[in-house]
Structure 1
Amino acid sequence: MRVLVVHNRYRSEQPSGENMVVDREVALLRGAGHRVGVFERRSDDITGRSLLGKAALPLLVPWNPAVRRELAARLRGERPDVVHVHNVFPLLSPAVLAACADAGVPAVATLHNYTQVCPPGTLQRDGRPCTECVGGTPLPAVRHGCYRDSRPATVPLAVSLSVNRRRWWSGVERFFCISAAQRDVLVGAGMPAGRLAVKHNFVPDPEVRRTGDGEHLLYLGRLAEAKGVRLLMAAWDEIAAGGGVGVPLVVAGAGPLEREVAAWAAGRDDVRYVGLYDPAQCRQAVARSVAVVAPSTWLEAFGLVVVEAMAAGVPAVAAGHGAFTELVEDGRTGLLHRPNDAASLASRLRRITVERAHNREMGRAARHRYEQGFSPAVGLERLVEGYRTAIAGRSGGGDRPPPAGDGNTGSRRGHPPERDGGST
């Protein structure tokens, strides 16, 4: 199968789970013998633009005609069977869908967040859940300055959502939702249910797994309010006031709360702030964990760190909402705490460190769940199945996948006439 992946890479100064997912899928497909090309832009390149170029950037967020022309020309030259769209903000824009229509190539899109119904994609405002824009106009997001606490910065995203909503819904043959929880929200907002399929992200089998009881609790991720970092600090202070749990808390990551976290951890024996870990260090840290902590206050669309813990045979303590409720089987593969409740989080952290035999059981069950639902083999199967469904839909086959072994079905049967076509 010939696949072209379209992605606007996030800035390299901070880790991006989305970039990681894209890279892993490209490598997975190539390793299975598929021919995969990449059409990308990098947000890192914005700093090298002229002042005029930077000033013009917001105008290109809803629609970038140069990208449409460039991508359409590449598609006509390479003739891929399917285009897989990931993030298009801020340098690509939904013009990539028009390019696919121009060239007659079916498109699938992975929805990594909620930008189809919420300009910043978080369904959160001021640290609390917010659905004001869901199913309606994005004007509330502009009024509140939901993206980067800035009304001017939010306007291009709101405009793009408004003018391109129908283009997304009609121009994509298959949307990949990364959790059932995310799909439920999007269907409730009016997105076409028949085009929304759940395809969890996969995680490579790690080089190391937990062999003992673990030596620390681990928070691994972006240091931001939405990730529950302040909630975790409050819960850990409550635990410390009661005498601790016998193991330290390791906090690894970077983000807007980095200074606050570093100051909070300074001089303490029960907390270690270690900054950014490289991938090998992350795997080692997870494998040495009593549990991985994921206390997000926003409705996570997935939860990569939880599945990485599963792969290493480590249970998780996670917030009981969003995708976590389908990733973590409470009491079997980990523990769920009441969202935004520091006392509940503290209680679960105490329990998972004290009940060692149960912890080991949950670790084994977590590994089994990983093998059944989140391994590379499962990821490849679901990815290719989605591609085949999209190709069949474009070639008149509806939702029926083409026969196994004919990965090119539908892509060479002639193409529809060129038609005009309109952040993740």
Structure 2
Amino acid sequence: MKILQVLNHYLPYQVAGTEVYTSLLSKYLHQQGIIVKVVIPNYGASGNALYVHEYIPVIAYAEPSEVDRSLIMGLRKPDGLKYFEELLVQEQPNIVHFHELAGSNGVTVHHVERAKALGFKVVTTLHLARYTCKTGNLLYENKSLCDGVIDIEKCTRCNFVVKGLSNFRINALLPLSWIAYKLNINLTKSDSSLSTAIGFPFLIDKIKTDLQRLYNSSDKVVTLTSWYKTVLQSNRVPRDKIVHIPQALPFLEEIITSTTSVEARLPIRLMYIGRISPIKGVHLLLEAVKGLPCDKIILHIYGQEMGDAYSASCREQSVGLPNVKWMGKIDPNSVVKTMQKYQAVCIPSVCSEMSPLVIQEAFAAAVPVIASDVHGNSEQITHNKNGLLFKFNNSDALKYELQCIIENPELLVTLGKNIQPPQNFNVVGMAYLELYQELLRT
């Protein structure tokens, strides 16, 4: 059996959740004697390139597309599509497994359709929510959780709000955009912000159409969470095409603790780990901690700062807070053991995430998580049972939960005892292997 794992970037040049997940799956399949190769675009190049990462061959096919408006808006296919097709014909895989699609440059729905047209079995794993949401955060107007149903009028309004348009402009643009859409006048082809705004319903319609094209060209669509499975079904993805394979964690057995090591004492030792970016909500956490006694809570922030305005702003927020310490990057292999030094981990995300791996890591350390109540977090955390949830994008709500554990540190011990260790990633690998074998029997 030969499997091609397809995505837009790969290790070691880009390290994020999708890349790590694909690497873990590829290594598991390799250990089972499966021929597996990773396929990515070779951006800006007219020729293919090859390298090996941890025993897995990585083929970068030529992708010489010039990135311009027509490509960004999806008005033409990437130039590298023909080279991708040539690669498939040459490799003759049993299954082509897509892990990531771009809207324009790189791997797109055109590539999925081409793989299917060539007669190969196709699997697509959806790691992000943007396949059904233009903003990618599944929050309606950044105020409430969204059900994820693609509704052209509702989604257009939501995007106008998220982009910061005033109510006056929104009320003026919505009728114009709806009339243009009904008359099939697509102004997104014009290079102006006003034309793009009036043509926005066409961009929402494209998301809906691309989702249909994606599931029509995939033998199976894999979702990592139950909540996104519900979103897909709500958008009429056929139930028999959806496979739910829950997220899991690669770990060494010796770092897993069956009982919590959390102590009921002050000061509370709190940990943040993740990207230093606005959607991760580090500013909310700093704002919440700022209003609490410095001798009652200690916050350590782990994550790479990008040298941008947001990182600088968060640094400035922490000035004068002796109980906040910036710890820098952390070796991924040391995350769980490091977490065991803390009493709680905080995930203050201001948008919905698919299935944050950091929650799984905290559970492996038997450390409770304090997280915003958004999709992805709430599926793994039950409030007041194995963690705490607070209203997203609300520093006062987070401050309240932190105040509760300061006043009652024993709560963290109770929460820690209720944590169930996560599954080993081998369970995920086995599930995919069974899925591949099932497809090849049909």
Report the TM range for the smaller structure's normalisation: 0.7 to 0.9
Distance 1:2 1:267 in 2: 57
Q: How far apart, in 1, do the equivalents of 2:10 and 2:204 lie?
A: 19
Equivalents in 2 of 1:133, 1:265: separation in Å? 36
Q: Distance in 2 between matches of 1:353 and 1:25?
A: 41
Distance 1:12 1:205, change over 3 A: closer
TM-score, normalization by structure 1: 0.76
Q: Does 1:311 align with 2:311?
A: no
Amino acid at match of 1:385: E
2-side partners of 1:52 and 1:329: how far apart?
46
SS in 2 for 1:248: strand
Return closer, same or farther for 1:142/1:73 CA change in 2, 3 Å cut-off.
Answer: farther
Partner of 2:250: 204
Of 214-223 and 318-327, the range deviating more from structure 2: 214-223
Q: Contact 2:221 / 2:243 at 8 angstroms: preserved in 1?
A: yes
Matched, 1:55 2:68: yes
Unmatched 5+ stretches in structure 2: 46-61, 166-191
Q: Deviations over 1:304-338 (max 9, x none)?
A: 11011112222211123312222123333222223
Matches of 1:44 and 1:270, distance apart in 2: 46
Tell me how far apart the structure 2 counterparts of residues 22 and 306 of structure 1 sit (CA, whole Å): 19
User: Which residues of 2 match residues 100-119 of structure 1 at below 5 A?
Assistant: 100-119=115-134
The answer on whether the counterparts of 1:127 and 1:225 sit within 8 Å (CA) in structure 2 is no
1:25 equivalent in alignment to 2:25: yes
**Percentage identity across paired residues of the two chains:** 20
**Mapped contact 2:115–2:122 kept (Cα < 8 A):** yes
* Residue aligning to 1:295: 348
In the aligned structure 2, how far is the partner of 1:14 from the partner of 1:80? 25
- Flag the structure with larger Rg: 2
Aligned mate of 2:97, from 77, 84, 91: 84
The 5-angstrom pairing of residues 215-230 of structure 1 reads 216-230=269-283
Deviation, 1:232, is 1.6
TM-score normalised by the chain length of structure 2:
0.74
Equivalent position of 2:81 in the other structure: 68
Q: Verify the 8 A CA contact 2:246 2:428 in the aligned structure 1.
A: yes
Q: Structure 1 residues 97-106 or 133-142, which shifts more? A: 133-142
Q: 1:284 to 1:143 in 2, by over 3 A?
A: closer
Going from structure 1 to structure 2, the CA distance change for 1:51 and 1:92 (only over 3 Å counts) comes to closer
Q: Is the 8 A contact 2:302 2:330 kept in 1?
A: no
Name the amino acid aligned to 1:184: T
Q: Could you say if the C-alpha distance between residues 81 and 141 of structure 1 is closer, same or farther in structure 2, counting changes exceeding 3 Å? A: farther
Alignment of 1:369 with 2:401, yes or no, is no
- CA distance in structure 1 between the partners assigned to 2:271 and 2:147 by the alignment: 34
Offset, 1:204: 0.6
Go from structure 1 to structure 2 and tell me whether the alpha carbon gap of 1:141 and 1:275 turns closer, same or farther (over 3 Å shift): farther
The 1:38–1:251 alpha-carbon spacing in structure 2 relative to 1, beyond 3 Å, is closer
1:194 matched to 2:240? The reply is yes
Q: Which moved more, 1:355-364 or 1:265-274?
A: 355-364
Task: Name stretches of at least 5 consecutive residues in structure 1 with no aligned partner.
Answer: 392-407, 411-424
What secondary structure, in the 3-state scheme, does the structure 2 residue paired with 1:289 have? Answer: coil
> What is the total number of aligned residue pairs between the two structures?
385
Provide the rounded CA distance (Å) in 2 between the counterparts of 1:40 and 1:232. 36
Residue 112 of structure 2 corresponds to which residue in structure 1? 97
Structure 2 counterpart of 1:79, which letter?
Answer: Q
**2:314 maps to what in 1?**
261
For 2:425, the aligned partner's letter is P
Q: 1:72-97 CA deviation, whole Å, 9 max, x = no partner?
A: 33323333222111112131211111
Judged with a 3 Å threshold, the aligned counterparts in structure 2 of structure 1 residues 9 and 249 are, in CA distance, closer, same or farther, namely: same
Q: How far apart, CA to CA, are the structure 1 residues paired with 2:275 and 2:243?
A: 27
Q: Larger RCO: Structure 1 or Structure 2 (Cα < 8 Å, ≥ 6 residues apart)? A: 1
Does structure 2 retain, via aligned residues, the 8 Å contact 1:8–1:42? no
Aligned-partner residue type, residue 441 of structure 2: T
CA distance in 2: counterparts of 1:86 and 1:7, whole angstroms: 5
| Distance in 2 between residues matched to 1:20 and 1:230, nearest whole Å | 27
